[in-house]
Amino acid sequence: MLQCIDAIKSKSDNIKIFLISSHTDTETLIQKVAHQTNVMAIYLLDHEERFASTLNHSITKLHDLYSDLGSLSIRLSQDIKSFIHYTPLSISTFDREKNENTIRDLNKANARFLWLQLLIDILIKTPYNDQEKDEMLEECRTHYKDNSTVLKSIKEFSQTYKSTEALKFYTTDSFLYRILNRALRTENIDILFICRFFLADICNQLKE
């Protein structure tokens, strides 16, 4: 824990920190870092619900306790999206011709792109199992309940899908391509979370 505290204190105010902790002495950790101006928010991952009775909930940077990584990931992505939206961002770029550093403000489109990349990275690292696949397919069935052709495709997918076929389904005009693309365009966190196992398969296949 001391290494974590020292690392946070050593960062400049330009480095914004969204801190996730499951340390047994979380109360001490919060007391040591909550006042740091570069700490934007603190999230507690508490699988065994050990901290609820001892924490000081009046600390504004404490963004609640979470018993599972999935709900924490959704809240974290929402907070980062809000931070990007309301905070002016800048990046340093190097101009080779002038041999000097220049600063360009990130426009909203670039900021939203960065948020989306971060969200996807969080989602594909969130643990999942066969139940997540069933939940995704149930969402698809609900969405296409009046389309017998697509329902047939969903049934076939549920019976034959392999993780090595993720790109094939995403690069063809399949029901998954349409639902996932709509969720990406509208930044629908709930649907992206439901589709996280498929996103993970796509990313893993691209890495190969």
Instruction: Give the start-to-end residue ranges of the domains of the chain.
Output: 1-67, 73-127, 130-207
CB atoms < 10 A from the CB of 175, how many? Answer: 20
pLDDT tens-place values along the chain, 208 residues long: 678 788 878 877 777 788 888 776 777 777 788 788 888 888 888 766 665 555 666 677 877 778 777 778 778 777 777 776 655 544 333 343 443 333 344 455 555 666 667 677 777 776 667 788 888 899 899 989 999 999 999 999 999 888 888 888 888 888 888 888 888 888 787 888 888 888 888 888 887 6
Instruction: Compute the residue count for the chain.
Output: 208
Long-range contacts of 187-191 (CB under 8 A, 24+ apart): 187/81, 187/112, 187/116, 189/74, 189/77, 189/78, 189/119, 190/74, 191/139
35 in Cβ contact with 78 (< 8 Å): no
pTM for the model stands at: 0.50
